[in-house]
Structure 1
Amino acid sequence: MRFTEQLWQEISPLYDAILQHGFVKKLTAGSLAIETFQYYIQQDALYLVDFSRALSQLAARSAQPDEMLLFCEFAQNAIRVERSLHETYFTRYNIEPQTEKMPACFAYTNYLLATTSLQSPAVGVAAVLPCFWIYREVGTYIYQRAVSENPYRDWINTYAGPDFDRVVTQMLDLTDRLAETAGPAERAGMREAVRLSSRLEWSFWNDAYTQTRWPV
């Protein structure tokens, strides 16, 4: 069994919890409140900027030129997606740019930046993997069930599309290669990083659904 297959077995309860979350259920049904989607997109735009920084850190720390190039491409794509959010969703749904990260976004981005800079590159790769992987699986799940007139169809198509699928496959292959040369302690760190980032994925959806704000 591939290392990533083992990882999926370990995080499958978290993935199931995401699928059962009200945010995903209503997004699938096309009944998600516009205010909820606005909050989500605002935070996602902030998240993607730091996600790009985390990927750039992995590029700088990679030992292999091919891996450096891959992470540079991923980092550029994250910024392109962030800009696309401003050009499409922000305009379409009258969303005002947000400058403050709310709790889940703050925790998630700071965790990724700390892990990709302070932990081994293999653990850093594991930390960023769930953002790719879970989004592909959630996007595919929703795509197969959403009605054609779903107002969030463009968002759904992005994460269920072949281009994103190709990127996720590259990340999974890289994770497996790094796990092959990692020692037991490092593989344990990779497992923990995937588990924690998967938890933060759930928290990110939940913050949007509950409109979570800082208490003061």
Structure 2
Amino acid sequence: MQNWYKKINNQTDYILRKIKEHPFINELMDGTLPKDVFHFYINQDALYLSEYKKILSVTGVKCSDEADTQFFLDAATGVIHVENALHNLFLKQETFNPVPSPTCELYTSYLSRIVHTHSVEESLAAILPCFTIYKQVGDYILKHQTNTIKNPYQNWINTYGGEDFAKSVQKAVEITNKHAQTASDEILTKMEMIFEKASKLEWMFWDSAYNKESWKL
């Protein structure tokens, strides 16, 4: 399959549309998102990324091509540097909560299970939505936002709509497509299911942040 990502991206477009329509994204775009909601999101994002960088590293080690391995190890390092800068900017005067929300816990646990117990192809399908959806959301916001000068979240928006992040996303897509080309039909089906579930978890992450999700007990 020459372009596995193009196919699965079309199949899961309904999820991306729901993300773009979410009030979190729309209020982030125009700068009206309540600060306590954004703080909750950044806090949970920090917890998510502390696990995601490990997941990227494990995925990289599973790749047989040294260049692919290096890419994911570099991506894990990039997560540390770029996200730490954003979190220092937005969390520096706030209290950090070390407890992941139920959705954050679910998402990171799911990714960790896939990369530790499934094939490299399935691992790539699991981690890819975090790359591609953030890129698509960043591009969408930059294209449609009207408040760029006074938007308190512009630094966050620029990070995911920037050229450096776009190059990283494209490389992750290329690596996944390469592995899909030689994957069996059974593995391809599993890759599609995993990518779709991870994409749904992306929507759930935005939604849980908007509602400041907490444990019921």
TM range (shorter): over 0.9
SS, match of residue 144 in structure 2 = coil
User: C-alpha offsets along residues 129-161 of structure 1, whole Å, 9 cap, x if unaligned?
Assistant: 000000000001011122122111100000000
Structure 1 residue 3: deviation in Å? 1.1
Tell me, yes or no, if the aligned pair for 2:86 and 2:156 is still in contact at 8 Å: no
Residue number in structure 1 paired with 2:199: 198
For residues 131-210 of structure 1, the aligned pairs below 5 Å read: 131-146=130-145, 147-148=147-148, 149-210=150-211
Tell me, yes or no, if the aligned pair for 1:45 and 1:85 is still in contact at 8 Å: no
Residue number in structure 2 paired with 1:112: 111
Structure 1 residue 215: deviation in Å? 0.4
Tell me, yes or no, if the aligned pair for 2:59 and 2:123 is still in contact at 8 Å: yes
Structure 1 residue 95: deviation in Å? 2.3
C-alpha separation in 2, matches of 1:15 and 1:207: 16
Moved over 3 A (4+): none
Kindly report the root-mean-square deviation, in angstroms, between the aligned alpha carbons of the 2 structures. 1.0
C-alpha separation in 1, matches of 2:62 and 2:202: 25
Instruction: Number of aligned residue pairs: give it.
Output: 214
What amino acid is aligned across from residue 115 of structure 1 in structure 2? I
SS, match of residue 88 in structure 1 = helix
C-alpha separation in 2, matches of 1:12 and 1:86: 29
C-alpha separation in 1, matches of 2:175 and 2:187: 15
Residue number in structure 1 paired with 2:125: 126
What amino acid is aligned across from residue 125 of structure 2 in structure 1? A
Tell me, yes or no, if the aligned pair for 1:49 and 1:82 is still in contact at 8 Å: no
Structure 1 residue 87: deviation in Å? 2.1
SS, match of residue 98 in structure 1 = coil
Alignment TM-score, normalising by the size of structure 1: 0.96
Tell me, yes or no, if the aligned pair for 1:103 and 1:214 is still in contact at 8 Å: yes
Structure number with the bigger relative contact order (C-alpha 8 A, sep ≥ 6) is 2
Structure 1 residue 85: deviation in Å? 3.1
Alignment TM-score, normalising by the size of structure 2: 0.96
Structure 2 stretches lacking a partner, 5+ long: none
SS, match of residue 142 in structure 1 = helix
C-alpha separation in 1, matches of 2:178 and 2:74: 19
Aligned CA distance change for structure 1 residues 19 and 86 (closer, same or farther; 3 Å): closer
User: Identity, % of aligned pairs?
Assistant: 32
2:100 corresponds to 1:98: no
What amino acid is aligned across from residue 36 of structure 2 in structure 1? E
Structure 1 stretches lacking a partner, 5+ long: none
C-alpha separation in 2, matches of 1:86 and 1:132: 18
Residue number in structure 1 paired with 2:28: 27
User: C-alpha offsets along residues 75-95 of structure 1, whole Å, 9 cap, x if unaligned?
Assistant: 11112233213321112xx32
